[in-house]
Structure 1
Amino acid sequence: MAEFIQRALAGVSLDDPDSANDKRPDFLCLGGRLVIELKTLAEDGSDRMDNLTDELRQRDDWPMFLGSAPMQAFIQNTRDPEGVQRRVLERLGRGIINHLKKANRQLEAHSKTSSTKNLARMLLLVNENHEAYDPHTVSYILWHAIRQMKDATLRYEHVDLIVYITERHAQVREGRVAFPTIIIEGASCETDEWKGQFGGFFVARWARWNGHSLEAGADVSDFETIDHVPDQASRKDFWKLEYRRNPYLRGLTEAQLYDRFDEVTLINSLSFLKDCPIEIAADARTYGVHMFSDMMDEMAHRAIPVTRFPHKADRAIAAGHRLKLPTAVLRWIEQFERDIEARNNRRGD
């Protein structure tokens, strides 16, 4: 990044090893008209999010998912999704806001000593390699932060605009991979419109530097995380990667997905229950586990907690009929479900 700034933007490094880092920004560019403070999101924020998740699990409305699920899936199934969302953004945003605070101090210090008064002050924020800092979340946090007021003054008044770059997130547009570069303009870009032009100029130079074309207007919520594919992966991880590449359950309605869930659950149950009148072959057992893994991924994608697909005797029997199981097996399933129902009734008494 430093080489790009120095060569494509005529950047001059202001770094002084004998001075404290928070006293000056990193680069003076374009003859002093653009000053850039470069910050990197090096920490993934996992500790902060793990602590918050432990707190949220104490809620009586915290949903249950099979396997892992994105945070948004949990949030959507609480009674107060907006309140929970605010807590998540506040916790995840701490690292981002810390960078903004430091950049504001450094850019302020430069403004006080610079002989160039008409200059644009930019925070360049780069995601090192972390999934959590998706374009939608980061742009939301920064857009609101840069407009915060304190004592009738903008809290971060010395930051005119922010450019956010991440190559851990992408989308496919007309068969080509597109990476997001987000521009967040502060209030000063509304009063001095010429400052905002530096954002577009920077992005255009960045695209040219990397040999990419530039397309505007993408929805920041449409970018997805790029998976890291290891040289060796467990069977479970391989299945998850395979399903992301081919989410064949995506076209089913929720009712159809519930039916498929019943069928997969039934096959897996028959594989492990004692005294089952049918022997499930080893390859069929593996296929059943594979299917259940895909089912968990699809339910997580749709934010469907397992409580929305409760086990019911009539549904299990219907699943057996759809699977065309032998009559003897269907009768055994019916008796098995009646026995479970009787035991549950006795506990209730």
Structure 2
Amino acid sequence: MRIERYGDVQKLEPIVEHFLIENLSGISMDDLESHEKKRADYSCLDGRIAIEIKTLQENGEARIGTLIDRLKKRHKNWPEFLRPTQLSSHLKKLDLSQRDIDEVFSFMGRSIKNHLKKANEQLAEHVSRHKETQLRAVFLINEDQEIYDPQNVAYITQKLLNETRSDNSIRLSSIDAVFFLTRRHATVHAGRIAFPFLCIESQSVENSSEKNDLIEIIIDRWFAKTKSYRIEKPDDNLKFTAIDIIPNRIKRYEKWELDYKRNRYMQSWSKESLQNTYNQLVAVGALNFVKGSPEKPSGEMTLWSMETMTHLSLELGYRSISNKELLRDNILISEAAKSLGFSDIAIDWLKDL
């Protein structure tokens, strides 16, 4: 399932702030308390709810690049692909240790952890001065980062909320619930686009009817404000996917990538068919760029090979087929050249290359 978006989308943070003020009778603590003090952003429903807003602005892609470099050094059999591909394609090819898995989520979740740690301190300070507070919540917003998908954010957040110190006390003991919102990820449910509004609860909520009631108020009023419907019992197969952003102006290779994402025609191909296409592309590339080539492909064929290589490299990445799994056999490459109509001289040259 793919979902596309053209242009920018309205920022979530001002929408959340307006919601807290208009729908939860929120009061900005910035207006009431000194900037030197640690404080929550908003006090809502006559002080019963303290809310801190945190926005995931750090680009996680650079962090993932650093992680890949570290894992490469640890795994001598690290798979290489025809093009840079998503981390999951690499991980599928490896026998990961628990240390590796923990490190992956640690890298992905560092920004989340830092935000929640600071929010925990601010909410603790707020509650020390406002004893009427019954629910301490964080609105965690992902404006436009693809890496912070709902599934991983929920997993990482739940793990952080349950994390204990050596004395078994909860580290983030001043956070009862985290509400996660994003407009970069969505799914299709009953023929309609659905955006995530997730509530991740800490252990403090389990036996507190007051906290549960306040969480339900927040959720109900959010759906009422946004005029959206609530999926009470999500299907286990309901997965959110990153929305593809289509720029107003697009480069040629980006157009080829987009075309393939819209029509993944190689998806049903066997591995042998992918190998045959790879052989054809190697033949065209060698005849084009290796010194002494007896025949140059036409401009039309060269353009075809560039576009097809873009499509093939995407498909190989989707299937986690690494470079080592692609054969480099001169006989097969020369046969591929024959299937493309090259001369006998070119075919013989490729055999001896």
What TM-score do you get using the length of structure 1 for normalisation? Answer: 0.85
- Cα deviations by residue, 1:180-210 (Å, 9 ceiling, x for unpaired): 1221111112222552454444333323323
**More divergent stretch after superposition (163-172 vs 204-213):** 204-213
2:132 corresponds to 1:116: yes
**More divergent stretch after superposition (304-313 vs 44-53):** 44-53
Q: 1:153 aligns with which of 169, 188, 196?
A: 169
- Cα deviations by residue, 1:98-156 (Å, 9 ceiling, x for unpaired): 11111111222222222326x12111100122111111221111111100111121111
Q: CA deviation at 1:234?
A: 1.5
- Cα contact 2:295–2:346 (8 A) shared by 1: no
Q: CA deviation at 1:94?
A: 1.4
In the alignment, structure 2 segments of 5+ residues that lack a partner are: 1-15
User: Could you tell me how far apart the structure 2 residues matched to 1:250 and 1:175 are?
Assistant: 24
2:230 corresponds to 1:222: no
Q: 1:54 aligns with which of 64, 69, 73?
A: 69
In the alignment, structure 1 segments of 5+ residues that lack a partner are: 341-349
Q: 2:81 aligns with which of 44, 59, 65?
A: 65
- Cα contact 2:335–2:347 (8 A) shared by 1: no
- The AA in structure 2 aligned to 1:26 is D
- The AA in structure 1 aligned to 2:304 is Y
1:236 maps to which residue? 253
1:28 maps to which residue? 43
Q: CA deviation at 1:91?
A: 1.8
Q: CA deviation at 1:228?
A: 2.4
SS in structure 1 opposite 2:245? coil
2:196 corresponds to 1:189: no
User: Could you tell me how far apart the structure 2 residues matched to 1:203 and 1:196 are?
Assistant: 11
Query: How do 1:220-299 residues align onto structure 2 when only pairs under 5 Å count?
Result: 222-273=239-290, 279-299=296-316
SS in structure 2 opposite 1:153? coil
2:121 maps to which residue? 105
1:344 maps to which residue? none
User: Could you tell me how far apart the structure 2 residues matched to 1:44 and 1:271 are?
Assistant: 38
User: Could you tell me how far apart the structure 1 residues matched to 2:87 and 2:238 are?
Assistant: 15
User: Could you tell me how far apart the structure 2 residues matched to 1:250 and 1:21 are?
Assistant: 57
Q: How many residue pairs are counted as aligned between the two chains?
A: 335
- Cα contact 1:104–1:159 (8 A) shared by 2: yes
Q: 1:310 aligns with which of 327, 340, 344?
A: 327
- The AA in structure 1 aligned to 2:251 is S
Q: CA, structure 1 residues 202+264, in 2 after alignment: closer, same or farther (shift >3 Å)? A: farther
- The AA in structure 2 aligned to 1:259 is N
What TM-score do you get using the length of structure 2 for normalisation? Answer: 0.84
Q: CA, structure 1 residues 39+272, in 2 after alignment: closer, same or farther (shift >3 Å)? A: same
- Cα deviations by residue, 1:262-282 (Å, 9 ceiling, x for unpaired): 333334434445665665321
**More divergent stretch after superposition (261-270 vs 25-34):** 261-270
SS in structure 1 opposite 2:20? helix
Q: Higher relative CO (CA 8 A, sep ≥ 6), structure 1 or 2?
A: 2
User: Could you tell me how far apart the structure 1 residues matched to 2:47 and 2:197 are?
Assistant: 23
- Cα deviations by residue, 1:19-50 (Å, 9 ceiling, x for unpaired): 24662111122233322111111221344333
- Cα contact 2:29–2:43 (8 A) shared by 1: yes
- The AA in structure 2 aligned to 1:11 is G
2:146 corresponds to 1:127: no
**More divergent stretch after superposition (196-205 vs 283-292):** 196-205
- Cα contact 1:121–1:160 (8 A) shared by 2: yes
Q: CA, structure 1 residues 123+142, in 2 after alignment: closer, same or farther (shift >3 Å)? A: same
2:57 corresponds to 1:45: no
- Cα contact 2:330–2:350 (8 A) shared by 1: no
1:346 maps to which residue? none
**More divergent stretch after superposition (158-167 vs 207-216):** 207-216
SS in structure 1 opposite 2:300? helix
2:117 corresponds to 1:90: no
Identity %: 29
Q: CA deviation at 1:71?
A: 1.2
2:231 corresponds to 1:205: no
2:192 maps to which residue? 176
